[in-house]
Amino acid sequence: SSGINAEYGAAPQLHTERVYSILLMVFGALMYATIFGYVASIIHRISQQTSELNERQTELVDFINVHKFPESLANRMEDFFYNHWFTTKGVVAHEIMEKWPKSLREDCFLYIHDLLLKQWPVLKEASVGCQRALSERLQRFTLCPGDMIYHSGDCVGEIYFVIRGHIKVIKNNKLIGVLTSGDVFGESFWPTRTGRKSKANVQALTYCEFEVLSHESLNEIMILFPDYWDIWTKKLKISYELSSKAALFTEDTPQELVNYVENERTVAPDNIVEEIKCHVTDPKKHFQELSKKRAQSAAGIKGVELDGSTKQILLKANEVLKAAEAKLA
């Protein structure tokens, strides 16, 4: 037996050779365990994501079956589900960052909304503090082809910044315009106006992505940063106001362009703004006063007594906002 081992040189003979062989086998075993551990971890992560996706799919199918949605609506629901899942992987940013420190949360939102904050002058020229506050209030979402953004008669209380995709505007069953990347639509903001009614249907033509800023959030921003009003009014260029009676397409627009809107860009006017009559004649001053009241209110919480008129203004603020739409009618 020893002669055979010596002939093939397979067995260590010296003490150092035996030690070396043992160490080599231990190292090989560790490498084997490490490699297979990594492979198992990767497979587990993949299977975990797949399991979560399958669970959400099952919930969606059960939801459709329980309520017996028509096939067309069920297809739209499934289309949105898959588009949203493969865009976000099911991650909801606000839920993850809910308990994070304010500064860290704002830094993350600044990065998420970096494209919008750097390319749109109305946001780009805001102060650093204002940008941080804006970034936390901006909402990003996607839509699938055929999804309605607004129906005619809906109350419009947001500003939409189009990141990608094409949106068609329909009035009286007639296509009056197309909006695409770089356009802004919605309704211009005024301090005491709660929103006007859309005079057109707005529908996603392709897969679209938006950044949305609500009038309510804008009101908060203007109270915190009254000087931002000047930038907002000068730099905001709304491609189409939904309460406007004007059309994006003109009589000179070729019919081929109207029929082939998926691959064409309609040049929209810089701004369609009708004159707004309101008891707030100087919005910047209005927001400066509200900002001052806010600071006084914060001081009042700490024990500083507020004067009676200030208290009345704070109590009646909501009533003024609710009455605005009636006054504008």
Write the DSSP string, 103-140.
HHHHHHHHHHTHHHHHH-HHHHTS-HHHHHHHHHH-EE
CA dihedral sign of residues 44, 45, 50, 53: positive
Distances in whole angstroms, Cα of residue 43 to Cα of each of 51, 106, 273, 310 = 12, 35, 56, 63
Which phi and psi angles does 158 have, rounded to 5°?
-140, 165
Q: How many CB atoms lie within 10 A of CB 91?
A: 9
Secondary structure class of 228 (helix, strand, coil): helix
pLDDT of 267 reads 35
Distances in whole angstroms, Cα of residue 42 to Cα of each of 34, 49, 53 = 12, 11, 17
pLDDT of 46 reads 66
The rounded distance, in Å, linking the Cα atoms of 208 and 180 is 9
Secondary structure class of 324 (helix, strand, coil): helix
Task: Provide the Cα torsion 208, 211, 214, 215; round to 10°.
Answer: -110
pLDDT of 129 reads 92
pLDDT of 4 reads 46
pLDDT of 259 reads 54
Distances in whole angstroms, Cα of residue 40 to Cα of each of 36, 37, 47, 48, 49 = 6, 5, 10, 12, 14
pLDDT of 278 reads 47
Q: Are the CB atoms for 159 and 218 separated by under 8 Å? A: yes
Secondary structure class of 281 (helix, strand, coil): coil
Residue linked to tokens 């949360």:
105
Residues 202-212: b if buried by 16+ CB within 10 A, e if exposed: bbbbbbbebbb
According to DSSP, residue 99 is labeled T
pLDDT of 327 reads 53
Q: Are the CB atoms for 169 and 202 separated by under 8 Å? A: yes
Q: Are the CB atoms for 129 and 225 separated by under 8 Å? A: yes
The rounded distance, in Å, linking the Cα atoms of 146 and 150 is 12
- What does the pLDDT look like over 123-174, one tens digit per residue? 999 999 999 999 999 988 888 888 889 988 888 889 999 988 888 888 888 8
- What does the pLDDT look like over 17-55, one tens digit per residue? 778 888 888 888 888 888 877 877 777 666 666 677 778
In the predicted model, residues of the chain with pLDDT beneath 70 are: 1-10, 12, 44-50, 192-195, 245-281, 297-329
